[in-house]
Every structure is written in C-alpha cells, then in structure tokens.
Amino acid sequence: MKFGVVIFPGSNCEQDCYYAIRTVVGQPVEYIWHQDTSVKGFDAVVLPGGFAYGDYLRTGALAKFSPVMRAIADFAKKGGLVIGICNGFQILAEAGLLPGALLRNVGLKYLCKFEYLRTETTHTDFTNLMTKGQLLRIPIGHGDGNFFADSETLERIEDHDQAVFRYADAHGRVTPEANPNGSLNNIAGIVNEQRNVLGMMPHPDRAYESILGSADGKLIFESMVNALVTK
Amino acid sequence: MTVTDEVLTQHNLTESEYQKILAILKRAPTITELGIFSVMWSEHCSYKSSRVHLRRLPTKGPAVLQGPGENAGIIDIGDGLAVAFKIESHNHPSFIEPFQGAATGVGGILRDIFTMGARPIAAMNSLRFGPLDKQQNKRILEGVVGGIAFYGNCFGVPTVGGEIYLADCYSQNPLVNAFALGIFEKDKIFYGRASGLGNPVIYVGAKTGRDGIHGATMASAGFGEDAGAKRPNVQIGDPFMEKLLLEACLETMHKGLIVGIQDMGAAGLTCSSCEMGARAGTGVELDLDYVPQRESGMTAYEIMLSESQERMLLVAEKAKEKEVFEVFHKWGLDAVTVGRVTSDGLLRVRHHGQVVAEIPNGALADEAPLYQRPLLPPKATLSSRLDDHSFLDGCPPALIETFLSESNDWNKLLKLTVASPNLCSRRWAWQQYDHMVQSNTVVGPGSDAAVIRVKGTKKALALTLDGPAYRVARNPREGAKMAVAEACRNIVCSGGRPVAATNCLNFGNPEHPEVMWQFSEVVDGMAEACSFFGTPITGGNVSFYNETFGGDIYPTPVLGLVGLIEDISFVTRSSFKKAGDSIVLIEPVTRRVGKVDLEDERAVQNLVASAIRDRLVESAHDLSEGGLAIAVAECCYSNVERAAIGAEITIPSHLEVRKDLFGEFSSRVLMTTRKVAELRQRAEQMGLTFHNLGKVGGNRLILNYESVKLVDISTDELESAWSGGLPKLLS
C-alpha cells in the first residue's frame, strides 16, 4: 500500500507522517511535491500539518490553488483515501473537499496539548479498527482549529454521520470544558459524504509510540491500511 | 566627509577607536566605512569588553567538535551524529517591540544552527520580566511569548523548555534569551568561510530593506527616554521565509554545492562577508547593485548595515553556481551572485560603479579594540533578607510579608506559595509553543530538563536552561557556580550525563566598574564549575548595556546545558509515578544556602545517576526555588498526562519550620523508589544524608512536622492554585 505525503513549502509535519507510516505502520511511503500535477501510483495521500504557504492571509487560502490539489481532488473523487491533518484539514476545507471551515481558536491563542477524542463512527476507512465511543489520546497544535459550519451544513454533517472525532474529557463525556478551541459540537475531525476524505485537527502523527505519550494515533493509519487491503 | 565628534557619537565610536581606524586605513574613512567599523566594533559584535575575561572559560573536551568562534558550538553524540547548539540574547529589541523582538531572536538563533548544516530539532528560551502588577510588563510578557510562538511554531521547531522569572530590575529591561539545537551527521559540518579564489559570493533569502539599521549598535547602549524612537531599529520576522531558507540551504549542502555559508544576523551583510573572509584569510568583493532590495534609493551605508531578517550569504564552487540557483528557485527564493572571493584580504564594496569601502577583513573581524575595563566590587549589595526564599524576590510586598510573618495557617501559605509569581505554572506560556512537532518530545516543558529522543538510535538528549539571577546578584561567583550545578543536576535527574554548555551573559553597563566586576566574578565561577563537572562552554553570547535610566539589571548569566541519555529507558521524570512508592530525600550532610560545595554536589549527582542506571528510581526531582514543600507539591501535579496524585511525608526537622519547609538549600534531590534499603545503603556509603520521607498515594498532600500535621490539602485544589497563578497575574 503506497502512501504519499504532500510537501508544501511551509509544511512542517511531513517528516512525522512519513516516519510514522514507514517505521511504525510499516508501509511504503514517498513525498509528493506541491508542484506535482499527478498523484498516480499512490493508494493514499496525506496532507500534513504546517503553514503551507506561510498562511499569513488565511490558513489554506493559497494552498488550494497549488497544482497538487487539483490532482488530489481528482484522486478523492475517484474514491482515493485522503487524510488532512491540522493544516491539511484547513486546506481540505478551503479546497471544498470537506464541508465547514476552521476559524481562530476561541481563546485566540495557539494551543499545543494532549486531548481526548471520542470516536463517533467506525464506518470510515480511517476508524475501522476502533470501536464506537473509543477514546483516543492525541495532541493538538494549532491556532485555527475552531470548526465552524452554517446550521444547515452542520445538520447535514451530523445526519450523515460525518463527525468522526469529538473532543471529550478523560471519561468520554463531550462537554464544553473539553472543547479546546470552540469547535461546533466539539468536532475534531470529519469525513466527506463519500467517507474517503478525513480532516482532523489533532495530530495522529505525534502519537504513534508510547514514548511520545500515546500510540493511539497509529490506529488511524492502520485503519487506512486495513481499508486498502480489504478493498 | 568630515568626521565630527557628533558623527562619532552617533556611531557609538570613541575618539581613540577613530584613531585606530585611521591607522588601519591610513586615510580618513568614507561614511560607509565608518558605519561598517561602528557595527563590527560594537560591543555586540566585537565582545571588546568581555573578550579578555571569556578566555578563562573552559572550551575543550573529548566531545567538543567545535568551540566558540563559529556560528554555534558542536559536540559529538556518537552513532556518527553531532549536535550544534547555542543561546543568544535579543533583549533590547524585545523591550522596544516585544512580539517582533522575540520572534526575530528565535529566527536568529535558528539560522545560527542551520548555517552549520544542522537541522534544528529543539528550541528553548529563558525570559525575565518585571513584576506583572505593572501593565507594561504584562504587555511585554504577552508580546514576547506570542512572538516566540509565532516564529517557532511556523518554522516547525519544538519549543521544549525554558524559564520565566520576574524581578523588579527587569521592568525596563526584559531579557529574552533564545536557545536552539540542531542535529546532523558529524562529517557534514559547514563553516562560515569564504575560500576558493574567484568563487562566487551568493546572496539568498529575503530582500534587503531599511529595517534594523544599527541594531547591533542599539544593543550596545542603554535605554533612556528615547527608547520608543528606536522602534524602527527592530527587524520584522518572517518564519515562513526562514523555513524555505532552511530547506534550501540544507539541500545545497547535501548536494555538495557550497563551500561556506553564514547568516546575516547582527550587522547584516557587513558581518557575514568580512567574517567569512577573515576566517578563510581571503578578500571579499561585493557589488551592491546586485543586492536584492525592498526599497528604492538605498545607500551603500544602508545596504551594508541593514539587519533585514532571513538572509544568508553563501560561497559556492564556481562551477556549481547555477545548481545553487536552481535549488533556491525551487523553494521560491531569491539567489543572486553579489560578489566573489579575492586574494587581497580586503572587504571591497562597490556601489554604482564606485568603490565605497575597502577595509582589511582581519581588521574588522579580529582587530577590534580590546578593553581591560576597571573592576570594582559594589559597595551596596542586595539585602540578604530573601536568601532562604529567593522565589519571593519580585513578588508583591504584601505576599512577602504574609510569607515571612508568623502565620500558622500552613495550608493557606502553601497554596499562596505555589501560586506566587516565580513558582506558579508556566503552562499558560508553553502551551502556546508547539512543543511536539518533529515527534521527538519525550519530556516537554515544565520539567527539570526537556528530553528529546534521537531517531534511529536508542539515545536521547536532555536539555535545560538555568539562570538563578537573584543568587548571582547576591554573590556573582557562587551564583554562577550554582547555575552550573543546578543545570547539571537537572540533566542527571532526567537520566542523562551533562556533556557541554552554552552561555548567555546578560549584564548592565560594562563602563560601570561594578558591572565589570560582576562579569569577571561570574566568568570565574562558571569556569570553575564547568571545569569541575567537565562541561565546556562551546559558545554563547554576551549582552551588555542592559540598563534603563542608568539602572543596571541583576547580573544574569543563563546557562544552556546539553546532556546525553545513553539509553532512552533511563529517562526519568520529576512527577510521582505510582501510589505506594517511597519518597526519599538525598542531601549533603552540611546544609548551605546561596552557595554550593562542588564535591558535595558531585556526590549527590553520582548517586542519582548510578541509581537511575541500576533501576532503583521511579522519579527524580531537583530541589530549587521554594525548597522541599514546593518540590513535593510539583511532583504531585507536574505530570500533564494524568490527574494529580497525593503524598504523605514527614519533613525532617531542624526546628526552623519555615526553612525546613521552604528553605532553598543546595544540592538536594527528591526521588521515589521501591528499593528504599538499597538506595539508603548507597547514599550512606557515599557520605550523603538519606531521609525516607513517606509515600505517594491518595489525593491529598499531607506534610507532617515534629508529629504535627502542618499541611493537609487536596492536590486538586493545590494544582488549580498553581496552574491558575500566571493567568490570574495576567488578567
């Protein structure tokens, strides 16, 4: 199963994704340059965290125009697996591959800390190895992770079971106190309606070995491998 | 040009320095040349007041691959790998414009690291501010923290640790010291040398603007009422640009395209070109018409002195110029040949077809005046009132009085103490720093030392910053020794072995003999302790003129220490691990405050190190500000991964209850163990005092003293007082 990790000039988590997939999950992986016009030969594509083009204007606002994003949109339309982590999620939302938008955190500050995520659905190619309600301990690191959608869109997301992860407390309760950034319905990650594109603000690429404080993030990459093997 | 006294004053040059310039040039300088001399001979760039003292520091050791004099020091960590690291100050700019001042401080130190070919993998910072009851100090702290986060987070380096202290003397003069460390293969080190006659000198990165002109000169004078007017001297940072520079520079290095490289930091194009020439013994010829410029009509003087950020100067092999351009263009960066390497040893600058400067490189880089400034012990020193409880320095007077009064409500006092300005949690600050990117962070901020693993090996690095300014102000020599001792103790408690250090020496006005005396004493104390512990100083930075309205800051040396953890399984945390573990205290037989006995310190560290290696230790925490009571409290709640855990201990009594609880005695370590007898035997064999204090467990912190229960408080309550301390001070 060949993974591709996209490098925008200001990506800074591409090596973490690469290392996690190759060394810990044990799958072949290659980098994809943002100027590339094709993602042919890849079974799954990762949009890593960082500040794609500096993000001085708005997160992901410039990245959506990069040549590789056209190829990725095509790839997704044909059912290819795409995961956007942090800045990758922001880019997917800007590019219209996922609904909603990521606004400035309610506290207006960048936040780096571990969070508990409740797995809301296992019917995705990213969560098929988990149980519904399973708690994952995965860190966030962002200033713009406040998930927002208009009420109609939000309703659609909930009705179609597209909210994959919600911020929760250590007991799995989804409460306002457990919400670090003001995201609507405590949403930490969503899939598209076809369920092959996931965007999440927390970083599974920082929680793949117990020495880092948690290995829960590995489950997401392994679910992707599982989905690809069984397809 | 007529060089009047006024012109010299504007350039911070003395009459005798001007005479030296005339002697070197054998003619009057042009205005561009005068500007070049003024920045290269500024205190900031030339170390003219400090160099005679710095020579006394130990700089060599078996692991040292590169000592002072390059962009960063380098040590060998085995497995064919090396790390480059350094600490640098950005104090003056951070006072004038806190956000950009701190941001560009981070940017500068990161460039120093990747200039040598190393990829930055960790950053830390040591910060000093005035008390937060003043609005201005709050604004400075928030700006500085915001600036560090802005730059480091976007660049993608984890900010894994640091320290913040508050004291009155920093009100008009905050300190921002930024540390960075990078890793590379030890046979792939790059130097700032302009070698190879005829080789092209290539300018890469951001365009040159008028920002930061005379930044180095500004950092070489104190502040008066015109501080605000110096805002245009502060540079603006662009971390995205720096990230591109990092990737492009490393790519040209890995492809073997360049022979020398140096960043344009303080004194910009001037410093990078003449230093690279001086190191290689060559000349450098620049044509400023080719320098990418952001503004029109810039003079040669402005171009040479600009401190615009995110710029580098490379020397490439003649045949590989084109390939260098290709790499930089791939990353969307400017890369232009602006000159070439010559054999005449001169820095020759042309502008609009005219030679505007022609100065021997060696004269600029190595022949700056050296000053043996007068030394004089100060008549009045800081009062000894807070010696037992140095954390109180910088606290509101009411808090100090409450603490020192005969209050017997120890629950209340402990709660008050954990929330006090110098002891409360710094989480508010470090949560804004991305401390996990690159997925190496094993122990992040808020511990004795940060620990990052080294991918591809079983090793890890332990990093810490220490700058006990109150102790140094009370006794510069002893304080400096304490800084080294505590830094080493922090590394040892985390499971590592101290290897080498970098220092940032923040002082007042060197023209004050008292300041130079402090400086000299600190260097001697640091030299003695670093030699004793075998931790050479591989580089660093001196920041003088930290004074505003004539008031000097505390002498504030900050030591950045790098330790090696041979096996990641040795990593030990400060927080209590499990209910039932025994809590023990190790200390020398003699209790000392404000000074350290190095032999005693070594015995304590040797015990901790051997006990960790032999798996006798569950957790280890160094005792420092606030003494035993604070250390125990911190062990209860410092693990961010879980809820606080309780403990019950009996405090060893010397019948001085406040000192026994909160006294800051040197060379003490708190550990937890499941092998009490074995640990006791070892400690006693080494001539140390061993106390079995009690056990971890429950959800309350209980402190007994002479059969009286002094403290009995819920750890949750204590933790929220501690973690809410800083936000409350800032609100």
CA distance A147 to chain B (A): 19
Question: pLDDT digits over B302-339, tens only?
Answer: 999 998 889 999 999 999 999 999 999 999 998 999 99
A9 to chain B: which residues are within 8 Å by CB? Answer: 240, 243-244, 247, 331-332
Output the domain CATH number for residue A134: 3.40.50.880
Is B453 at the interface with chain A, CB within 8 A?
A: yes
Q: Which residue of A has its CA nearest to B120?
A: A12
**Which residue type does B500 have?**
A
* Eight-state DSSP code of residue A20: I
Question: pLDDT digits over A144-160, tens only?
Answer: 999 999 999 999 999 99
* Eight-state DSSP code of residue A1: -
- Average pLDDT, whole number, for chain B? 94
CB distance A72 to A39 below 8 Å: yes
Separation of alpha carbons B354 and B16, rounded Å: 29
Separation of alpha carbons B398 and B133, rounded Å: 12
Separation of alpha carbons B217 and B42, rounded Å: 6
- Which pLDDT does position B551 carry in this prediction? 87
Candidates B597, B378, B398, B676; CA nearest to B509 is B378
* Eight-state DSSP code of residue A11: B
% of chain A beyond a pLDDT of 70: 100
Residue of B243, B430, B453 with shortest CB distance to A211: B453
Question: pLDDT digits over B405-440, tens only?
Answer: 877 899 999 999 999 999 999 999 999 999 999 999
Identify which of B545-549, B602-606, B653-657 has the greatest average pLDDT: B602-606
CA distance B156 to chain A (A): 5
% of chain B beyond a pLDDT of 90: 86
Residue of B432, B438, B643 with shortest CB distance to A109: B432
Candidates B663, B443, B700, B692; CA nearest to B575 is B443
Candidates B709, B673, B667, B717; CA nearest to B692 is B673
Question: pLDDT digits over B568-598, tens only?
Answer: 999 999 999 999 999 999 999 999 999 999 9
Question: pLDDT digits over B473-508, tens only?
Answer: 999 999 999 999 999 999 999 999 999 999 999 999
* Eight-state DSSP code of residue A205: G
Residue A26 has which token pair? 């044990």
B155 to chain A: which residues are within 8 Å by CB? Answer: 12
Q: Which residue of A has its CA nearest to B639?
A: A213
Given an 8 Å threshold on Cβ–Cβ distance, is A203 in contact with B640? no
Question: pLDDT digits over B232-242, tens only?
Answer: 667 788 999 99
Separation of alpha carbons B473 and B480, rounded Å: 10
A139 to chain B: which residues are within 8 Å by CB? Answer: 436
Catalytic residue positions of B? 44, 90
Question: pLDDT digits over B12-34, tens only?
Answer: 899 999 999 999 999 999 999 99
CA distance A231 to chain B (A): 31
CA distance B409 to chain A (A): 33
% of chain B beyond a pLDDT of 70: 97
Given an 8 Å threshold on Cβ–Cβ distance, is B431 in contact with A213? no
CB distance B102 to B153 below 8 Å: no
Domain holding A159, by residue range, is: 3-230
Domain count, chain A: 1
Q: Is pLDDT above 70 for B174? A: yes
Radius of gyration of chain A (CA): 16
Given an 8 Å threshold on Cβ–Cβ distance, is B244 in contact with A10? yes
CB-based contacts of B150-153 (< 8 A; 24+ apart in sequence): B150/B99, B150/B103, B150/B237, B150/B239, B151/B102, B151/B103, B151/B104, B151/B106, B151/B107, B151/B237, B151/B239, B151/B242, B152/B106, B152/B123, B152/B239, B152/B433, B152/B434, B153/A110, B153/A141, B153/A143, B153/B239, B153/B433, B153/B434, B153/B437
**What is the band of B217 on the pLDDT scale with cuts at 50, 70, 90?**
low
Given an 8 Å threshold on Cβ–Cβ distance, is B568 in contact with A211? yes
* Eight-state DSSP code of residue B553: P
Is B439 at the interface with chain A, CB within 8 A?
A: yes
Mutate to test the interface with A, among B151, B437, B447 (most CBs of A within 10 A): B437
CB distance A200 to A91 below 8 Å: no
**What is the band of B367 on the pLDDT scale with cuts at 50, 70, 90?**
confident
What does B402-465 look like in DSSP terms, one character per residue? HHHS----HHHHHHHHHTSTTTS--HHHHTTS---TTS-EEE-TTSSSEEEE-TTSS-EEEEEE
CB distance B711 to B702 below 8 Å: yes
| ipTM of this complex prediction, to 2 decimal places | 0.96
Q: Where are the alpha helices (DSSP H) in chain A?
A: 14-19, 67-77, 87-94, 151-159, 218-230
A211 to chain B: which residues are within 8 Å by CB? Answer: 442, 453, 568
What residues of A are in the B interface, CB distance below 8 Å? 9-10, 12-13, 15-16, 19-20, 49-51, 53-56, 109-114, 139, 141, 143, 170, 203, 205-206, 208-209, 211-213
Is B432 at the interface with chain A, CB within 8 A?
A: yes
Given an 8 Å threshold on Cβ–Cβ distance, is A13 in contact with B437? yes
Given an 8 Å threshold on Cβ–Cβ distance, is A51 in contact with B154? yes
**What is the band of B3 on the pLDDT scale with cuts at 50, 70, 90?**
confident
Given an 8 Å threshold on Cβ–Cβ distance, is B243 in contact with A206? no
Q: Is pLDDT above 60 for B231? A: no
| B690, containing H or E segment | strand B689-696
Residue B276 has which token pair? 């690279």
Is B431 at the interface with chain A, CB within 8 A?
A: yes
Is B720 at the interface with chain A, CB within 8 A?
A: no
CA distance A194 to chain B (A): 31
